[in-house]
Amino acid sequence: MSSLRHQRTGQNFSTGSYPSRFPQNYQKPATNFLTRTNLILLLTLLIILGVLIPWIQVPEGFLMFNSNPNSKWRDYTLSDAAARVAQNNTLIVCAVSEAYLPFLNNLLISIARQKQHEKVLVIAEDYATLYKVNERWPGHAVLVPPALEAAAAHKFGSQGFFNFTARRPRHLLNILELGYNVMYNDVDMVWLADPFPYLQGEHDVYFMDDMAFVKPLNHSHSLPPPGKKGRPYICSCMIFMRPTNGAKLVMKKWIEELQAEPWSRAKKANDQPGFNWALMKTAGQVDLYLLPQAAFPTGGLYFRNKTWVKETKGMHVIIHNNYIVGFEKKIKRFRDYGLWLVDDHGSESPLGTL
């Protein structure tokens, strides 16, 4: 017994002599997901998803990149916007940067009082304006790239002001090419009556004089003769055009004039001289119509000639707050004449009170 116990205790249980379940040259296989079969299956799945996803209605907000309700307006085109907003094949257009949103709201209140606001299309010159207008009034603002840098109100004569206004004829030409009638308004204007009854006949381009001297009530509707600078003095603030070859020719010529006379520190150009040169150089090929002064007076007449205002009372249709420079000065003058409507009538705007 003792000898048996001694033998057991002395046995060698080293791994070399211990029987193994696996051969000595066996290696445990590594797990490899990226086999040829798995890669083919993955590629097939991606192809199927690529085909099906565009047809699947994903609930808004389900995916993180859909959480911004404004993102859809980045892909909103001028063609889309015009088709959505136009009435009777006509658009009322104004170009706006964020600093001028209060003026836009003031203009919209006056247009809404004439029941014409639903055909207003705002061309936003920055994304802040695009988002804010469409948030409150979906579909009524569009941005035509590239967006301008959002900044404070540009002073008349500055390069920023030129860059802003120089885009105008291109916007208008694009709308004409889409086949729409278009009325352009600067945002520092106010409607006192409906202007559409004054767009008589089938002329190509309608516009208003920017001269402050008084014309007779039965004045000519032809393009005025050139002034001291060799061109007429028509305001580019209010234009109505039909989608005719003549109107398109004027816009193309306006674009050419602006390219030929860009802004410089010496000249400090703006878009209006180019418009006047374009009208004068195309006058023989285009049917032009000067609107009546009593209905469409320049600010240099309406705000500076009280006698004339009394004599023409009841005839005024659109008032332009020009012949004054400065954002706050324009607001003050509108207030002084009871034309700053946003103070007490903001709820009448389709944008509400900003």
Q: pLDDT by residue (tens digit) across 49-80?
A: 765 655 554 443 444 444 567 789 999 999 99
Global pTM value: 0.78
What percent of the chain is predicted at pLDDT more than 70? 77
Q: Which of 159-185 are b and which e, b meaning 16 or more Cβ less than 10 Å from the residue's Cβ?
A: ebbbebbbbbbebbbbbbeeebbbbbb
The pLDDT-based confidence of 265 (bands split at 50, 70, 90) is low
3 state SS of 210? coil
3 state SS of 181? strand
- State yes or no: pLDDT of 16 exceeds 50: no
Given this model, what pLDDT does residue 59 score?
Answer: 44
- State yes or no: pLDDT of 139 exceeds 80: yes
Strand partners of residue 96: 124
- State yes or no: pLDDT of 153 exceeds 70: no
The pLDDT-based confidence of 42 (bands split at 50, 70, 90) is confident
Rounded average pLDDT over 165-172: 86
Given this model, what pLDDT does residue 46 score?
Answer: 76
Rounded average pLDDT over 106-135: 97
- State yes or no: pLDDT of 200 exceeds 80: yes
User: Could you please report the per-residue DSSP string of 110-147?
Assistant: HHHTTT-GGGEEEEESSHHHHHHHHHHSTTSEEE-SSP
How many residues in total does the chain contain?
Answer: 354
- State yes or no: pLDDT of 329 exceeds 90: yes
The number of beta carbons lying within 10 Å of the beta carbon of residue 139 is: 15
The pLDDT-based confidence of 199 (bands split at 50, 70, 90) is very high
Enumerate helices (H) and strands (E) in the chain, giving the number of each: 13, 9
Given this model, what pLDDT does residue 121 score?
Answer: 98
Q: Which of 240, 233, 96 is nearest to 167 (CA)?
A: 96
Is 144:123 a contact under the CB 8 Å cutoff?
yes
Residue that is written with structure tokens 């004039």 in the block: 257
| Strands annotated E in the chain | 90-96, 120-124, 141-143, 181-185, 189-191, 205-209, 234-241, 288-290, 318-320
Which of residues 335 and 2 earns the better pLDDT score? 335
Given this model, what pLDDT does residue 6 score?
Answer: 41
Given this model, what pLDDT does residue 15 score?
Answer: 42
Q: Which two tokens stand for residue 181?
A: 């009638």
- State yes or no: pLDDT of 3 exceeds 50: no
Which of residues 218 and 33 earns the better pLDDT score? 218
Given this model, what pLDDT does residue 268 score?
Answer: 53
Which of residues 198 and 158 earns the better pLDDT score? 198
